[in-house]
Structure 1
Amino acid sequence: MMTVFDPAVVHRVMVCVTPQKSCERLIKRGADRARELGGEFCVVYVNKSMELNKDLKDHKILLELFEYAKSLGGYVSILAGENVYNTLSDYAKKNKITHIIVGKPLQNNFGTTKEKDIINPLIKAVEKNGIPVEVVE
């Protein structure tokens, strides 16, 4: 999927979100970073399910995050793919993203992450294109 960025803009910040209220801080960081760089930002969510309409109804928070991003001047995209980090990496390359912002995975009571790690594979996938990944606590 392509996002229509202004071709004159050099810096493009991609903010990766999941349907969690805590992702608002990532969106704010992305908007601030884009403003600092004189660039644009987009918020992306990777949908692994085939039932996107059902997912959006179940994830009201995702729609709220998208509205928040738009209110700060960002673009929003829902990407489809089984492999999250490959989907994000492909989107970043196709859209000439210059910075990526992700959140640190949440940990459970035992100190292990609840989600499969996508950050390290994403970093490896985009580092060859010189795209830095900022991991926000």
Structure 2
Amino acid sequence: MNYKVLVGITIQENSRRLIAEGFNLSQSIDAPLHILHIRKGETIFDRPESSELLSDLFAYGGELGGEVHFLCSNNIPETITSFIKENDITHLVIGETPNGNTISPGSSVYEQLKSQIGDIEIVVLPREIIEDKMA
């Protein structure tokens, strides 16, 4: 079987961990690495710092040999599902969302992805809590 790893990222520093996890997985199963960011809506960037962080994340993923993809959509789960099917992805690496609405077994988003994409391994990384050092 030909494996392919997809890492779903957002514009936040924690995405670097997701890319590293996806890279390690792709190396362990000898699979190409794909990195996907889906921007909700049609506006590419709400904040000026967003473009710089996304550029840094894409550069990091590219340095690791990943193929970087950027899409805009109002339906994130459906767009991820379509991308997975169109590219024959076998492994998906995603993270918990910052608001606690985790994409994990039992959550509606996780179940929606799992039911629509069938036999795929989904790795969910818990969100890393960065403590305030100034306190």
In which range does the TM-score fall when normalised by the shorter chain? 0.7 to 0.9
Q: Tell me how far apart the structure 2 counterparts of residues 87 and 57 of structure 1 sit (CA, whole Å).
A: 25
1:1-57 CA distance string (max 9 Å, x none): xxxxxxxx81110000000101111100101101111111111011122222x4584
Which runs of no fewer than 5 residues in structure 1 stay unpaired? 1-8
**Equivalent of 1:131, from 115, 120, 126?**
120
2:25 counterpart residue number:
33
TM-score, reference length from structure 1: 0.79
TM-score, structure 2 length as denominator?
0.80
Contact 1:13 1:40 in 2 (8 A): yes
Q: 2:101 aligns with which of 98, 110, 113?
A: 113
Aligned with 1:21: secondary structure? coil
AA matched with 2:62: K
Instruction: Give SS of 1:80's match.
Output: strand
Identity rate, percent: 25
Match of 1:23 in 2: 15
Please state how far the C-alpha of 1:58 moved relative to its aligned partner: 4.4
Cα RMSD after superposing both structures = 2.3
Structure 2 unaligned regions, length at least 5: 127-135
| Secondary structure, counterpart of 2:111 in structure 1 | helix
Distance 1:27 1:104, change over 3 A: same
1:93 aligns with 2:85: yes
Matched to 1:121, the amino acid is Q
Alignment length (residue pairs): 122
Report the AA paired with residue 81 of structure 1: S
